[in-house]
Structure 1
Amino acid sequence: MELAHDYLELATPAGETIKVLRKSHPQARRLRLTVTPGGARVTYPEGTHPAQVFAFLRKHGEWLERKLDELSLGSAPPPLKPGAATVMPLRGETTRLSWRDGAYPQIEQIDDRLVLTLPRPHGKSTLPAARALLRSFLEAQIRRDVSRWLARYCPELGRAPTAVKLRPLKSLWGSLDTRDRVTLDLALALAPPAALRYVVVHELCHLRIRSHSPRFWALVEKLMPDWREQRDWLRLNGQALKAELNRLIQA
């Protein structure tokens, strides 16, 4: 395994190489390995010795291979099927989605997995009920973050949207209409929170400047200096996220 710019290269027993994005984080308390449709990433506290990162990846090499296989990077994910566990991206990390029987339909987040509870026997209504639960869960994830960012940025901008709507979008990540209503792509619940924040900041800045002029981008940069990194992440991973959302709530 060797360091290549911002990536670590992990050799597998089969002779293949897995590239893992490395990233330190000032608030990280431990090493963490995640897999998303865009690939694998290891985050670690600032000041961690490279040898510790190397050892951590070697220790979790088999897990990493398995997760990449489960996620089927570069190919269509398996259809959502009642009772069949699967993996999905959530807030930029890989989450296991499992099912269990119960008297009432509900969805719970337990550690790093989502659990769908649905009554037996599974019939024609089971899958639509599961999709509805997933949709409401993803909407709640976005609204929780958006409410916090509105409270942060709207006073600074001196503007606020009249409403925030969430729905699947075919190509856009967000939009602002003539009535100052913001629409966000529900697939952003699957992306890292920083990517969602970029889209929110982008649309809020349009409350002040409707065009994509240099003055607009200067305002975006003032509020979010790393906006380019988040925009590029969405460009790279966007289609995979939209496909995942379709698999989970629409297909």
Structure 2
Amino acid sequence: MITKTIQIGDLAVEVVRKSIRTLRVTVYPPHGRVRVAAPLRLPEANIHEFIESRRAWIQKHQERFAALPAPAEHTFSPGETHYYQGQPLQLRVLPTTGRARVAQSEPGYLDLHAPAASTAAEREQALSNWYRARLKEQIPALLARWEPVVGARAAAWGVKQMRTRWGTCNTRARRIWLSLELIKQPAECLEYVLVHELTHLHERLHNARFWGLMDQFMPDWRRHKATLNQRVPGHSGPDAC
């Protein structure tokens, strides 16, 4: 893999050359960094032409990221707000002599059991572990519900932290990955992303056939997509893949 930065008009573009066949552009939050994945031997002039053809799309996403509120700087202290399935929960920190862990014993609250000397990083990891466990609990039932509707079955699935996507699908391996951030979003958004990724098992590209299948499988997908498009992975509170 070869990486360099080129200037295309007023845009600084990070170019990553890989063993791929087609160009792909990504705009990253929070500052709108532009990255292009390009075939190893593609002339640079072709990359310039591609970026110019995608100017409006790039600008739209940069403007959207610029309009988003800055993500909250959490210290994992009492009284902070953290989100679960779209609902705000107030953090309570309770002393313990064991390892930091999170539980939900009362509606509207998250209980973080942590030693007094625990660091913010240790508390963050405890909350991340709790989020991951909750998300993994929910996915099997959702797959059982939606795979027959979509008419496609994932050979494997997983959860991981993603900076810019809500989900991905490896169509060859028939493997789906879902963003850990989805557990903070409304439950219907998780279902939308799951159906979106399952639909890629029929159609790899975001083309007319893909969106037609989405209309068939989940007629109200646009509403859920609009909800997610108001947010970016890593931002709490109010780019599907």
- Which residue of structure 2 aligns with residue 173 of structure 1? 166
Q: In terms of mean alpha carbon deviation, does 169-178 or 196-205 score higher?
A: 169-178
Residue 103 of structure 2 contacts residue 111 of structure 2 at CA under 8 Å; is this kept in 1?
yes
Aligned position for 1:164? 157
Q: How far is 1:114 from its partner?
A: 0.6
Matched, 1:113 2:106: no
- 1:209-229 CA-to-partner distances (Å, cap 9, x unmatched) read 212222221221222111001
Q: Which runs of 5+ in 1 are unaligned?
A: 1-72, 246-251
**Aligned equivalents of 1:106 and 1:171: distance in 2?**
27
Give matches, 1:225-244, under 5 Å: 225-236=219-230, 238-239=231-232, 241-244=233-236
Letter in 1 for 2:123: A
Task: Tell me, in whole angstroms, the C-alpha distance in 1 between the residues paired with 2:71 and 2:209.
Answer: 40
Query: Is 2:161–2:181's contact at 8 Å kept on the other side of the alignment?
Result: yes
Where do residues 179-218 of structure 1 align in structure 2 (5 Å cutoff)? 179-218=173-212
- TM-score, with structure 2 as normaliser: 0.63
2:70–2:235 contact (8 Å) kept in structure 1: no
Equivalent residues in 2 for 1:1-251, closer than 5 Å? 74-81=69-76, 83-104=77-98, 105-109=100-104, 110-120=106-116, 122-123=117-118, 126-177=119-170, 178-236=172-230, 238-239=231-232, 241-244=233-236
Amino acid at match of 2:201: L
Identity %, equivalent residues = 26
Deviations 1:159-188 (A, max 9, x none): 221222212212111111131111111111
Question: What's the secondary structure of 2:210's corresponding residue?
Answer: helix
Please say if residues 157 and 176 of structure 2, whose CA atoms lie closer than 8 Å, have aligned partners that are also in contact. Answer: yes
Q: 1:78 to 1:151 in 2, by over 3 A?
A: same
1:233 deviates by 0.9
What is the letter of the counterpart of residue 179 of structure 2? D
Alpha-carbon RMSD across the aligned residues, in angstroms, is 2.1
The answer for unaligned runs of 5 or more in structure 2 is: 1-67
**In structure 2, C-alpha distance between the alignment counterparts of 1:134 and 1:170, rounded to whole Å:** 18
One-letter code aligned to 2:75: L
- Give the aligned residue type for 2:180: L
1:20 matched residue in structure 2: none
Q: What letter corresponds to residue 243 of structure 1 in structure 2?
A: H
Q: For the Cα contact (< 8 Å) 2:101–2:130, is it kept in 1?
A: no
2:83 and 2:207 mapped to 1: Cα distance?
A: 34
One-letter code aligned to 2:173: R
* Deviation readout 1:75-126 (Å, 9 max, x if unpaired): 4423324x43300221111111120101323211121111010123x14xx3
* C-alpha distance in structure 1 between counterparts of 2:102 and 2:226, whole Å: 32
Q: Structure 1 174/75 Cα, relative in aligned 2: closer, same or farther at 3 Å?
A: closer
Counting matched residue pairs gives 167
Is the 8 Å Cα contact of residues 176 and 197 (structure 2) preserved in structure 1? yes
